[in-house]
Amino acid sequence: MAAYDYQLLLKHLLEHGISWAPAQEIVFRDQIRYTYSDMYCRVLELASALQHQGVKVGSKVGVIEWDSHRYLEMYFGIPGIGAVLHTINPRLSLENLIYTMTHAEDEVLIFHEDFSPLVEQLRARLPFVRKFILITDRKEAPAIEVDGEYEEILAVASPLDELPDLDERSQATLSYTTGTTGKPKGVFFSHRQLVLHTLSGWGSLPPISNYGPMDKREVYMPLTPMYHVHAWGVPYWATLSGLKQVYPGKYEPEMLVRLIMDEKPTFSHCVPSILQMVINAADAKGLELENWRVVTGGARLTKGLALEARKLGIKVTGGYGLSESCPLLTIANLKPFMEEEWEEDRQLDWKVKTGFVMPLVKIRVVGPDGRDVTCDGIETGEIVVRSPWLTPGYYKDPERTEELWAGGWMHTGDVANVDEHGYIQIVDRIKDVIKSGGEWIVSLELENLLSLHDDVQEAAVIGVPDETWDERPLALIVLREQAKHRVTSATLREHLQKYVADGVIASWAVPDNYAFVGALPRTSVGKIDKNALRQKHGSP
Amino acid sequence: MAAYDYQLLLKHLLEHGISWAPAQEIVFRDQIRYTYSDMYCRVLELASALQHQGVKVGSKVGVIEWDSHRYLEMYFGIPGIGAVLHTINPRLSLENLIYTMTHAEDEVLIFHEDFSPLVEQLRARLPFVRKFILITDRKEAPAIEVDGEYEEILAVASPLDELPDLDERSQATLSYTTGTTGKPKGVFFSHRQLVLHTLSGWGSLPPISNYGPMDKREVYMPLTPMYHVHAWGVPYWATLSGLKQVYPGKYEPEMLVRLIMDEKPTFSHCVPSILQMVINAADAKGLELENWRVVTGGARLTKGLALEARKLGIKVTGGYGLSESCPLLTIANLKPFMEEEWEEDRQLDWKVKTGFVMPLVKIRVVGPDGRDVTCDGIETGEIVVRSPWLTPGYYKDPERTEELWAGGWMHTGDVANVDEHGYIQIVDRIKDVIKSGGEWIVSLELENLLSLHDDVQEAAVIGVPDETWDERPLALIVLREQAKHRVTSATLREHLQKYVADGVIASWAVPDNYAFVGALPRTSVGKIDKNALRQKHGSP
């Protein structure tokens, strides 16, 4: 008999967690509390029920659900039988929902009753979805016609004895990422990728920062939606580790604060705005959150927010990843010498950075000349990556895959510097960087410096074509009401020259041209719409 | 461009450790102290030097060396260029050394000068070894003719820019394990296997027992020789983690205690007899070892030794693995509820067990009827295993590979029970178990119970053929001098019946036959030689 060719499968993470901690708790809001053993039985029931519904190896199963124990069951149960878990972002526009589900070829749609109105709108446009399965906590008959209800199909299923063996390169998940332009792009990950992402995370999440290592007593509560790149993969890691897990359902400040107080999570992750929401809610109640560690990602963690968090006792650390990268790439763990030798304020400067690479991640920061930047915390380049858990491409999109993987490195589109200790700091998106005379001018940096002028309410900097330099920066300025008549281009140029003198920016980075406008256009999520600005002001 | 197909390679562990902790220390005895950066340069020099010596992908490089920083360099540098690191156990007999090096087809032999006399003896019998490279710390010319000296070949090498990419399934290491019968057997591991072993160990070594989690400040010192199954793989894990590492060279009690006091290792692993040696040396000096955690393996950790260790402050935990399994399979980490609810003495009972499986290891304990044993801590069966880091077979030995992997599970040859919490306890070797009437009688248990009789100095139990029951136990007894005339078979049968009454053993386990002998034969390593006993007493 030949040796058993062990494949890296999600079920192995699940099985280990179950055997280590069969009686450990999983909590859903203030509604449900059950054990890892219960969860495992239900995963095996779900797997069987889906097979009964005709789900096969390679079938796509779409899910629209809040953060719940049921979503955790689907994280394992759907890929566990070789099907593909398509985590659907319910905030997509109706057209994008139809586009992505059509593109994914979802055969089954499992959705929470909160999204019934949405599903009613979608249904006629999704003829390929064979089965609609409802999730509800209520006992009454659903107000929508479906092929089954989640709890009912589990109740009548004969559970599988165990999840089957699969090839570790089998596709496990699929999700879509939307940019400001073009159609949504599908990213997909295999069992092998998710297992390696989990094992590497295991080594880099525990020693978070100067807050002491994490251990087997941690309590985990996600605050990044589970439809968003596997909630950073942490539900897989928490299950492997046998940790108590708390799922908050729909994010509502009152419920979140209540769960934090009652269930005492010690570890969460979220975007800075959600952290701000929890801080506000907790602050209003005068609560302390001494034992709560939070890793933020998705947007820059400002030092101001980190300080605010610290006032409540929250221990916060920056991290970084993309939909294309499963997502974790870096985390701002401090090195021992920083914790031992540096003052707290300097430590915080590093803890709000984009971070240090996780094990098995190789990052290069490549400047406009194609060479790696100097590790001086100043020179900027694009972050390109290799690691075992990057999407092999955009789903069914060879053209954009080619761009993503140009030169055999995955292009993140993020522009960053690297300091002498190897910590990365993102400073801009590459499409917003101004390419001038073979060098890059970071738009966000100029905007930040311009906004420091007392008379400037808001600033945006874009590149405009230039015959000599390829591009030159144009600053679009919204002045404060009272300053409208006293500020000129010369005022602002002079303001920026101070930063040239201090070595903060290069002299050639100072914009020649300034346009004073009444307001700046915004995208649907409230960011300054630079595409619109470039269209309007981009001609020379 | 297609996505980069990231392979799991040892160099990725090394590169992460170097970038995280370039200034971290590696210490060799009281002789050498250098940084991770220095180490990385030397690995790249070694890789280049070996290529210069004609070492190619697949070449076997034999190493005979004590635990040193140089061995660590070879752990990465030899597999790093696609060659195979053959870790040679210098304690093998001369014939077995020749057999294994011939079988491995070593092209290069790197050896410490302490083994020069041995190499002189071997040389004529190893015509296929093209290059002999000496390791010495002395400046004088070596007393043996060689093709190069380790430090010299590094000094003149132009270091590689980086280690090359390889297929993750490339063979990285080879070593030989000797049984009591037959030729030594080669076990071999790929880059992929060693990387996964390291990542899993990362998750299970840190939370060792009730001593709190390990963190990035640990100091590692191996006390299992580096020629013995990758020193349990911990040098790879320590390097990935950027820990301070202390290499003790040849194990000498004085030096070990001095390093423990001066360099303050917080984590080691060893066989119980080495732990005993260190305890004796430390005890003689009246030293405390409060911050030292030790995982033992290779032989049963007795509660007595664990208590003795605890008196000195040493925090000790059982573990288990085989040469065939890379080696780690289990570790006796306690579950949180055991630490919170159990008294210290009961905790210790579990901490000296064989242990709980590591992540990605699947163990079954299969009884004589082919079914998994009940998890009651009593019923016994053979441990069979699946995991990503088991040897695919015995090197160039299809017949014994077939036996090892019978039924698609790797057979450990160890007989164990499993308790209700999933912890394994090895009780015997399968070849020593007595197969009687379709049940197994554990020889070690009977020997232990017999030795509890005041008049018994020593006991061995073997199976002898029986027409009705296949086998029946025969007890060979060495009586204490003064008891020689008062003890009969009936005395001992009556003694064992007490344990039947208490439910410790089954009635059919009590031997019918007893033979009183003057002494028991021993193997070269001091174990009772059951093969010899079976040859002499095994006929019915």
Q: Is the pTM of this model over 0.95?
A: no
Tell how many helices (H) and how many strands (E) occur in chain A.
17, 25
Question: Is A494 part of a structural domain of the chain?
Answer: yes
Nearest-CA distance from A325 to chain B in Å?
12
Q: Look at residues A402, A387, A413 and name the one whose alpha carbon lies nearest to residue A327.
A: A387
Nearest-by-Cβ selection for B207 from A3, A13, A215: A215
Question: Is B428 part of a structural domain of the chain?
Answer: no
Q: Look at residues A353, A358, A364 and name the one whose alpha carbon lies nearest to residue A329.
A: A358
Q: Look at residues B115, B20, B416 and name the one whose alpha carbon lies nearest to residue A360.
A: B20
Tell me, rounded to whole angstroms, the distance of Cα A540 from its chain centroid.
37
Q: Look at residues A118, A195, A133, A346 and name the one whose alpha carbon lies nearest to residue B192.
A: A195
Tell me, yes or no, whether B235 and B319 share the same domain.
yes
> CA distances (Å), A271 to each of A299, A344, B45, B186, B375, in order?
6, 23, 45, 52, 45
Query: What tokens appear for A156 in the block?
Result: 């009548």
For residue A219, list its beta bridge partners.
A244
Tell me, yes or no, whether B180 and B46 share the same domain.
yes
Q: Do B20 and A356 touch (CB under 8 A)?
A: yes
Q: Do B391 and A217 touch (CB under 8 A)?
A: no
Q: Which residues of B touch A6 (CB under 8 A)?
A: 360, 386-388, 390
Closest-approach residue (CA) in chain A for B324: A3
3 state DSSP class of A71: helix
Question: Is A141 part of a structural domain of the chain?
Answer: yes
Tell me, yes or no, whether B408 and B442 share the same domain.
no
Nearest-by-Cβ selection for A213 from B20, B213, B360: B213
Peptide bond into A327 cis (omega under 30): yes
Q: Which residues of A touch B356 (CB under 8 A)?
A: 20
Q: What per-residue confidence (pLDDT) applies to A525?
A: 64
Assess whether B402 carries a catalytic annotation: no
Q: What per-residue confidence (pLDDT) applies to B168?
A: 98
Q: Do A357 and B12 touch (CB under 8 A)?
A: no
Q: Which residues of B touch A391 (CB under 8 A)?
A: 3
Q: Which residues of B touch A356 (CB under 8 A)?
A: 20
Q: Do A359 and B390 touch (CB under 8 A)?
A: no
Q: Which residues of B touch A206 (CB under 8 A)?
A: 206, 213, 215
Query: What tokens appear for A415 in the block?
Result: 């522009």
Q: How far apart are CA B528 and CA A20, in angstroms?
A: 37
Q: How far apart are CA B352 and CA A537, in angstroms?
A: 74
Q: Do B216 and A335 touch (CB under 8 A)?
A: yes
Task: Tell me which of A149, A166, A183 is where a domain ends.
Answer: A166
Do residues A72 and A245 touch, judged by C-beta distance below 8 A?
yes
pLDDT greater at residue B410 or residue A537: B410
Number of domains composing chain A: 2
Q: What per-residue confidence (pLDDT) applies to A439?
A: 85
> CA distances (Å), B242 to each of A17, A333, B344, B460, B533, in order?
27, 13, 33, 48, 50
Question: Is B424 part of a structural domain of the chain?
Answer: no
What sign results for the dihedral spanned by CA atoms B47, B52, B55, B56?
positive
Q: What per-residue confidence (pLDDT) applies to A207?
A: 46
Assess whether B440 carries a catalytic annotation: yes
Q: How far apart are CA B442 and CA B447, in angstroms?
A: 9
Q: Look at residues B514, B383, B382, B381 and name the one whose alpha carbon lies nearest to residue B446.
A: B514
Q: Look at residues A60, A65, A146, A74 and name the one whose alpha carbon lies nearest to residue A106.
A: A60
Residue with tokens 């300080």: A307
Q: Look at residues B445, B441, B434 and name the one whose alpha carbon lies nearest to residue B499.
A: B445
Closest-approach residue (CA) in chain B for A410: B3
Q: How far apart are CA B464 and CA B476, in angstroms?
A: 12
Q: Do B3 and A405 touch (CB under 8 A)?
A: yes
Question: Is A487 part of a structural domain of the chain?
Answer: yes
Q: What is the interface size between A and B, counted as CB pairs within 8 Å?
A: 134
Task: Tell me which of A136, A151, A166 is where a domain ends.
Answer: A166
Tell me, yes or no, whether B405 and B449 share the same domain.
no
> CA distances (Å), B50 to each of A117, A390, A419, A480, B396, in order?
68, 34, 35, 69, 25
Q: How far apart are CA B431 and CA B180, in angstroms?
A: 11
Q: Do B16 and A360 touch (CB under 8 A)?
A: yes
pLDDT greater at residue A179 or residue B322: B322
Mutate to test the interface with A, among B5, B14, B15, B20 (most CBs of A within 10 A): B20
Q: Which residues of A touch B335 (CB under 8 A)?
A: 20-21, 216
Range of the domain at A94: 26-166
Peptide bond into A398 cis (omega under 30): no
Do residues B418 and B373 touch, judged by C-beta distance below 8 A?
yes
Q: How far apart are CA B196 and CA B116, in angstroms?
A: 36
What sign results for the dihedral spanned by CA atoms A371, A375, A376, A379?
positive
Q: How far apart are CA B114 and CA B67, in angstroms?
A: 13
3 state DSSP class of B236: helix
Order the strands of the A244-247 sheet from edge to edge: A32-35, A25-28, A244-247, A219-220, A267-270, A293-296, A315-321, A328-331, A356-357
Do residues A214 and A205 touch, judged by C-beta distance below 8 A?
yes
Q: How far apart are CA A428 and CA A445, in angstroms?
A: 8
Do residues B205 and B317 touch, judged by C-beta distance below 8 A?
no
Q: What per-residue confidence (pLDDT) applies to B211?
A: 47
Closest-approach residue (CA) in chain B for A21: B335
A502-523 pLDDT, tens digit per residue, is 888 889 999 999 999 999 998 7
Selecting among A198, A440, A447, A530, the annotated active-site residue is: A440
Tell me, yes or no, whether B450 and B401 share the same domain.
no
The model's confidence at residue A136, banded by pLDDT at 50, 70 and 90, is: very high
Question: Is B4 part of a structural domain of the chain?
Answer: no
Q: How far apart are CA B292 and CA B315, in angstroms?
A: 6
Q: How far apart are CA B275 and CA A123, in angstroms?
A: 69
Residues across chain A: 540
Q: What is the 3-state secondary structure (H, E, C) of B54-81?
A: CCCCCCEEEEECCECHHHHHHHHHHHHC
Give me the torsion for CA of B6, B69, B153, B20, rounded to 10°. Answer: 40
Mutate to test the interface with B, among A8, A13, A16 (most CBs of B within 10 A): A16
The model's confidence at residue A445, banded by pLDDT at 50, 70 and 90, is: confident
Nearest-by-Cβ selection for B360 from A12, A217, A407: A12
Q: Do A362 and B1 touch (CB under 8 A)?
A: no
The model's confidence at residue A182, banded by pLDDT at 50, 70 and 90, is: confident
Selecting among A25, A102, A149, A177, the annotated active-site residue is: A177
Assess whether A353 carries a catalytic annotation: no
For residue B414, list its beta bridge partners.
B429
Tell me, yes or no, whether B298 and B337 share the same domain.
yes
Longest dimension (CA), chain A: 87
> CA distances (Å), A377 to each of A160, A345, A368, A374, A504, in order?
54, 18, 16, 8, 11
Tell me, yes or no, whether B230 and B319 share the same domain.
yes
Question: Is A266 part of a structural domain of the chain?
Answer: no
pLDDT along chain B (540 residues), means of 10: 92 95 96 97 98 97 98 98 97 93 98 95 94 90 87 96 98 89 92 95 56 69 95 94 95 91 92 90 83 88 90 91 95 89 94 93 94 94 97 96 96 96 94 88 89 90 92 94 87 94 89 93 79 83
Tell me, yes or no, whether B509 and B367 share the same domain.
no
Q: What per-residue confidence (pLDDT) applies to A1?
A: 65
Tell me, yes or no, whether B258 and B401 share the same domain.
yes
3 state DSSP class of B355: strand
Q: Do A6 and B401 touch (CB under 8 A)?
A: no
Q: How far apart are CA B226 and CA B223, in angstroms?
A: 8
Do residues B241 and B205 touch, judged by C-beta distance below 8 A?
no
Q: Which residues of A touch B214 (CB under 8 A)?
A: 213
A467-503 pLDDT, tens digit per residue, is 999 999 999 999 998 888 889 999 999 999 999 998 8
Mutate to test the interface with A, among B360, B390, B395 (most CBs of A within 10 A): B360
Q: How far apart are CA A280 and CA A257, in angstroms?
A: 10
CATH of the domain at A443: 3.30.300.30
3 state DSSP class of A535: helix
Q: Do B213 and A206 touch (CB under 8 A)?
A: yes
CATH of the domain at A155: 3.40.50.980
Assess whether A11 carries a catalytic annotation: no
DSSP state of A233: G
Give me the torsion for CA of B210, B312, B263, B213, rounded to 10°. Answer: 0
Q: How far apart are CA A221 and CA A244, in angstroms?
A: 9
Q: Do B196 and A19 touch (CB under 8 A)?
A: no
Q: How far apart are CA A297 and CA A412, in angstroms?
A: 15
Q: Look at residues A67, A479, A78, A418 and name the one whose alpha carbon lies nearest to residue A274.
A: A67
DSSP string, A250-280: S--HHHHHHHHHHH---EEEE-HHHHHHHHH
Q: Which residues of A touch B215 (CB under 8 A)?
A: 206-207, 212-213
Selecting among B263, B324, B382, B447, the annotated active-site residue is: B324
Query: What tokens appear for A100 in the block?
Result: 């992505």
Q: Which residues of A touch B409 (CB under 8 A)?
A: 4
Instruction: Give the pairing of strands A131-135 and A106-112.
Output: parallel
Task: Tell me which of B394, B418, B442 is where a domain ends.
Answer: B418
Q: What per-residue confidence (pLDDT) applies to A208?
A: 43
Nearest-CA distance from A307 to chain B in Å?
25
Tell me, yes or no, whether B193 and B220 share the same domain.
yes
Question: Is A243 part of a structural domain of the chain?
Answer: no
Q: Could you tell me which residues come within 8 angstroms of residue A300 by beta carbon, excluding any fewer than 6 positions away? A: A272, A352, A426
